[in-house]
Amino acid sequence: MPHSLTGFDPIARRAFFGRGAAALGSLALGSLGGSARAEFATTAGEVRLPHHAPRAKRVIFLYMSGGPSQFETFDHKPELARRNGQPMPESVTQGQPVAQLQGKPLNIFGPRYPFRRVGQCGAEMTTLLPHLAGVADEMCIVRSMQTDVINHDPAHTFMNTGSAIPGRPSIGSWVLYGLGNEAQDLPGFVVLLSMGEGLMMQPIASRLWHSGFLPGHLQGVQFSARNDPIHYLRNPPGVTVDDQRELVGTINDLNRHFAARLPDPEIAARITQYELAFKMQMSAPGILDFSDEPRHVLDFYGVEPGERSFAGNCLLARRLAERGVRFIQLYHRDWDHHKNIFDIEQKAREVDRASAALVLDLKQRGLLDDTLIVWGGEFGRTPMSQSASDDGTFGRDHHIRGFSMWLAGGGVKPGITHGATDELGYRAVENPVHVHDLHATMLHLLGLDHLKLTVHHQSREMRLTDVAGRVVKDILA
C-alpha cells in the first residue's frame, strides 16, 4: 500500500497552526507563516507582520522561578551593608505591599556576597556568578524592574501573560501568534522545566505557557523531564516503528478516501497532523539525545549525561533554537529564599555555568545576534531580612518595587547596566522598567508592535501589554 510519509506535503510545516486561526482577527494571518502570509498581507487595512524589521528571530527565556535576590547578584547596594540590622525607615515601607513579612519587623539586610566590577564594561556582579561575569560584556543588566503582584502564583501569571488573572495568552503564544512557527517538525513554543536541589519549591502551573484566548495550537508544549519529551510520543509497548508507519499510512489513506466522498477542509489538516506526528515520533527523541554533542560542549555547559538539569535544558535550548523553535522557555525552580539567603549558592551553582555557556555558544555559532536571551524571575527580594524560626538564619521576602533581570543578544545593547534602585534598593527610581515594558520591548525586538499585536476578545482588543507598556529604547542596540 502506498504511503505518503516520504513525499512530504509542504503544508505540513504549518501544521501546528491548525484551524483555530479562523476564529481570529486578521492579525492571525501572521501565524500562517511564509507564503500564506504574503498572500494575505495585501488586504487593505491589515497589518503586516512583523510590523517592522526584527532584531531577534527567537527568544530563550531563562525563567528563575521563585524570585532570585537582586542584592546577591546584580544590584549593588553598599548602603544596605552599612545599615545592616537597622530598621528600614517607615517612610519607605509605609503603605507598601508585603508578603510573608506581614506584621513582622522590617530590618535592613546587607548583601551577603561581595560585588566586583567585571568585563570590559565594568558591570557590577557578585562573586556568586563567576561564569556570568565572564560574559558581562554581552549582557544588558536591568536593575529597575517592577511588577504588580507579590505572591508567586499571580506574579508568575503576570510575568508570563501580562495579567494576574488567569486565562490570558502567554508571551510565547503571542509571539507565535504574531510570527508563526518556522520549525519543521517541532512546536514553535517549547517549555523546559528543571528543579535542581532544594526544599522550598514553589509550584508552577501550565497556564504560564497556555494560549488563553488565542488558538490552542499556539500554546507552549512542555517537554517532559521524565518519560517522553512530548506526551504520547512513544509507540505503545509492543508496537514497532514499522507497525506504526503502516498504521499512520492506513489512517491517512482512509481519511483521504473519506475526504473524497465528503469534502471537509478539516480532514486535510488532520492528514497533515498525522504525518507530522509520525515525523515527530521519529525525530523528536533525537533532539534530546546529546550523543552527537562533543564532550567539550557537554562540559562547557556542565551537562551530566543522562540527567535532565538546567544545564541540559540550556543545551537543549540551543538545539531547539538551531531547529527554528521560536520561543523557548526554561523554568528553573526554587529561588524562593525566605529562610536562608545562603541557599542561593546552590541555585547559582546550578545556573551560572550553563547560562553563560548558552550565551557564548550561541555567539560562537552566530546565533546570538538574532536570539534574545532573557534571564530573571517573577519578582525580586526585599532589602529587609526575613528571619527564620530560631536557627539564626535570614532570608529575604518577595519584593516587587525594584528587582533585576538581564537580557542578551537579539538586538539588545551589550555591556550596559540600565536603571537603578534607590540607595536602599527599595524602589526603582531611575528608568523603571515595568513588566509591561519588558514585554513591549521583547515584542519590539521581534519586530512586533505591542500596540498592534491584538486580538478581539470579550468586547475589546486584547494585547499582551494590556493598556500599558513602553518600549525601553535605551537598551536597544
Site for another protein in 272-291 (CB under 8 A): 272-274, 276-278, 280-281
# binding residues, another protein (CB under 8 A) = 110
* Residues 355 to 394 in contact with another protein, rule: CB under 8 A: none
Of residues 48-87, those binding another protein (CB under 8 A): none
Residue 477 has a CB neighbour count (10 Å cut-off) of 13
Q: Does 37 bind another protein (CB under 8 A)?
A: no
CB of 234 or CB of 349, closer to another protein: 234
Measured between alpha carbons, how far is residue 309 from residues 52, 221, 281 in Å?
Answer: 37, 18, 23
Choose which of 79, 124, 137, 153 interacts with another protein (CB under 8 A). Answer: 153
CA angle 33, 328, 433 (to 5 degrees): 100
- In angstroms, what CA-CA distances link 393 with 114, 202, 223, 343, 349? 19, 20, 37, 10, 20
With CB under 8 A as the contact rule, the residue among 57, 58, 152, 353 that binds another protein is 152
Q: Specify whether the CB–CB gap between 101 and 386 falls below 8 A.
A: yes
Each residue 221-250 as x (binds another protein by CB under 8 A) or -, in order, gives x--xxxxx-xxxxxxxxxxx-xxx-xxx-x
Is 215 a binder of another protein (CB under 8 A)?
A: yes
Nearest-approach distance from CB 95 to another protein, in angstroms:
7
Nearest to 181 by CA among 287, 325, 37, 56: 325
Among 398, 439, 444, 450, binds another protein (CB under 8 A): 398
Q: Which of residues 83-122 bind another protein (CB under 8 A)?
A: 95, 97-100, 102
Please state the closest distance from residue 167 (CB atom) to another protein, in A: 4
Is 192 in a helix, a strand, or coil?
strand
Identify the burial level of 269 via C-beta atoms within 10 angstroms of its C-beta, where 0-12 means exposed, 13-18 middle and 19 or more buried: middle
Q: Which residues pair with 192 in a beta bridge?
A: 223, 330
Phi and psi at residue 115, in whole multiples of 5°? Answer: -90, 155
26-34, 137-145, 371-379, 439-447 -> range binding another protein (CB under 8 A):
26-34
Q: Report yes or no: 171 and 309 within 8 Å, Cβ to Cβ.
A: no
- Closest distance of CB 152 from another protein, Å: 6
**Alpha carbons 321 and 409: distance in angstroms, whole number:** 13
253 binds another protein (CB under 8 A): yes
Shortest distance, CB of residue 451 to another protein, whole angstroms? 9
β-bridge mates for residue 421, sequence order? 428
- Shortest Cβ distance from residue 78 to another protein (Å)? 28
**Which of residues 98 and 136 has its CB atom nearest to another protein in the complex?**
98
Site string for another protein, 163-202 (x = CB under 8 A): --xxx-------------------x-----x-x-----xx
Site string for another protein, 319-338 (x = CB under 8 A): ------------x-x----x
Nearer to another protein, 204 or 475 (CB): 204
Among 205, 211, 208, 170, which residue's Cα sits nearest to residue 18? 211
Query: Is the CB of 331 or the CB of 375 nearer to another protein?
Result: 331
CB distance 77 to 403 below 8 Å = no
